[in-house]
Chains A and B, each alone.
Chain A
Amino acid sequence: MSYHADERGYYGEFGGAFIPEMLYPNCEELRQNYLQIMAEPSFQEEFHQLLKDYVGRPTPLYYAERLSKKYNTKIYLKREDLCHTGAHKVNNTIGQILMAKRLGKHRIIAETGAGQHGVATATVCALMGIECVVYMGEIDIARQAPNVARMKMLGAEVRPATSGSKTLKDATNEAIRDWINNPVDTHYIIGSVVGPHPYPDMVARFQSVISEEIKSQLFEKEGRENPDFVVACVGGGSNAAGAFYHFLDTPEVGIIAVEAAGKGIHSGESAATSALGKVGIIHGSKTLLMQTPDGQITEPYSISAGLDYPGVGPLHAHLYTSGRGEFISITDDEAMKAGLDLCKLEGIIPAIESSHALAIFKDRKFNEDDVVVVNLSGRGDKDLQNYIDYFKL
């Protein structure tokens, strides 16, 4: 059994392409071409060259000695926070902009919640000189002003999504609507392993460079390619998909996915999709999502803007229901404390999303000789105001 997508984009019962006919040609063009384009040597060469020279890969695999001592286990941090633009998101946008160019597209659209994916998309569009429109919920625009400014400086147009709840899910709806209205010249760079097939698989492949590097770096340091555990936070699930990718079919490697419990799983203000979600359709994918009994999609909450998506990618829904992945949810408070802890112990200010992954060590115990790799998906610069408000700095 494989935990990767089958050729129709299913992970077990999850995935597929539940899209209106208006989107069929767009998705079909991508589906028919993505694997072939990605396999072209010239594509691989350009992709890896940019990851190296522009993004700054490989990112270090850092042995966090003081953190390890505190939790009495061996903790390695995969430093995606050191990527250009401050998070793993750019691995995907580099891949997709190259894909868009090869498909002959002249215009890029994207959705963004906190603005990280929007910035990563605006960045690669500037790099390639391609027009860029980023949809962002009106409410998010107000609370993420620095990232809005970054996108504008990078030449992108930021369009407010004013429908529905005016946040990430609505920005995604608006991007999809734009794509319906511009089916020929536009490529939609989706920001996580969500959406209709082939997006979850394509984005996971672009992010898989994370686990590819973990394997060789760990071999250098520990004399073995496989850690005992890989830990990552899950919003839509792209950094986790990248960190898990090359270990999915290696059962010796434990997979730990960390979701945002917000103010508590049962507080009504949470984004713990595996615990609270039911099977349904969101943004063209069959997966677990938070919804009312009547099938209306509900608005999630987390202190970290990057984790408050009401669904998870179909890969993660499958990891959860099959039992392959261990799912842990972490509250705002636990994450904030773990974030500050990392600052003090290792001199690294993590993104609040990543702090969720770091927060598991308080309750989830590991053996002394376990090798645990935590994917540090992003840095905390973007979250400074949140940290300031929370800790009254």
Chain B
Amino acid sequence: MNRIKQKLQEDKKILSIYFTAGYPSLNDTVKIIQDLEKSGVDLIEIGLPFSDPLADGPTIQASSTAALKNGMTTSLLFEQLKNIRKTVSIPLILMGYFNPVLQYGVEAFCQKCEEIGIDGLILPDLPLDVYQEEYEPIFKKHGLINVFLITPQTSDTRIKAIDDASEGFIYMVSSASTTGTKEGFGPEQAAYFERIAAMNLKNPQIVGFGISNTQTFQQATAQTKGAIIGSAFIKHLTQNGVDGISGFVGQIR
């Protein structure tokens, strides 16, 4: 069974951490993954850096720019991850923009993911209809779960369509924003969390954007399966390098 699905069956709140591959230093990727697993994180999103990350705020943008400057490429990331399954068993998701995947070749990319032991992909700018018409069979053939996003602006009808197309979980973007822009939650999020909970979707939801500490983690997961931390972890890496990852994770839960 796919590691993401297996993890989601556990009776616990999922803590997922995002980081940008190639940041802070080019060869930190494997150590960060290993330390995150050791620290008790449930799921890892490995960011494939892109020159033009439309949906990201300043923190993740800067990490992408730095990672590219460090020399990160798709091929190099695959090279770094080649033996990752010898040391970790945590579910791994690659997150990135669609253009680098398209240039690598979607089939070749998915093939490589399977070889390495990647469990899923998040490609925010690969739209639902294009995925279903052109790429779904390829993803499935290679055992990859494709994760879709919803936002407070997404209509109920579209959420249902996304729920039908999903397997694994739904990435619930907490507010209409780019990553790392808004911290914490207000009444708008409470209403949104209520609305989604009441929809009884078939897929569990994991909340992302705006989560940085115990309080926001607890708020985000009160009615959902889990939460994702991105910008706050990148800031930690900026300040501390790859040291103290377990300390960072420990203060979340």
> Residues on A close to B: CB < 8 A?
16-22, 24-25, 163-164, 169-170, 173, 176-177, 180-184, 278-284, 291, 293-298
Contacts and interface: CB of A to CB of B under 8 A. Distances in A.
A101 to B, nearest CB: 21
B16 interface: no
Given A22-B55, A164-B52, A180-B176, A280 B102 contact: yes
Given A19-B127, A25-B154, A294-B74, A279 B54 contact: no
Contacts of A183: 153, 176
A197 B54 CA distance: 16
22 contacts: A17-B127, A18-B125, A19-B127, A20-B124, A21-B148, A22-B151, A24-B127, A24-B151, A24-B158, A164-B61, A177-B54, A177-B178, A180-B54, A180-B177, A281-B102, A284-B125, A294-B75, A294-B100, A294-B103, A295-B103, A296-B50, A297-B99
Contacts of B196: none
A265 to B, nearest CB: 21
Interface string B131-151: 000000000000000001111
Given A18-B98, A24-B158, A284-B125, A296 B51 contact: yes
Given A18-B130, A181-B181, A295 B101 contact: yes
Contacts of B53: 173
Q: Which of B54, B73, B75, B101 has the most CB of A within 10 A?
A: B54
A308 to B, nearest CB: 15
A278 B177 CA distance: 31
B30 interface: no
Contact of A293 (B68, B103, B127): B103
Contacts of B151: 21-22, 24-25
Contact of A295 (B55, B65, B102, B127): B102
Contacts of B100: 294-296
B176 A22 contact: yes
Contacts of B103: 278, 280, 291, 293-295
B207 interface: no
Interface of B: 50-58, 61-62, 65, 68, 73-75, 97-104, 124-127, 130, 148-151, 153-155, 158, 173, 176-178, 181
Contacts of A169: 52
Contacts of B58: 163
A378 B164 CA distance: 50
A111 B58 CA distance: 18
Contacts of B74: 294-295
Question: What 4 A-B pairs are tightest by C-beta distance, nearest first?
Answer: A295-B103, A295-B100, A20-B124, A21-B149
Contact of B57 (A18, A19, A177): A177
A284 B99 CA distance: 10
Given A163-B58, A180-B178, A183-B153, 19 more contacts: A18-B98, A18-B126, A21-B154, A22-B151, A24-B153, A163-B62, A173-B53, A173-B54, A177-B55, A177-B178, A184-B176, A278-B103, A281-B97, A281-B99, A281-B125, A283-B54, A294-B103, A295-B50, A296-B51
Contacts of A164: 51-52, 61, 65
B104 A295 contact: yes
Contact of B178 (A181, A278, A284, A296): A181
B52 A173 contact: yes
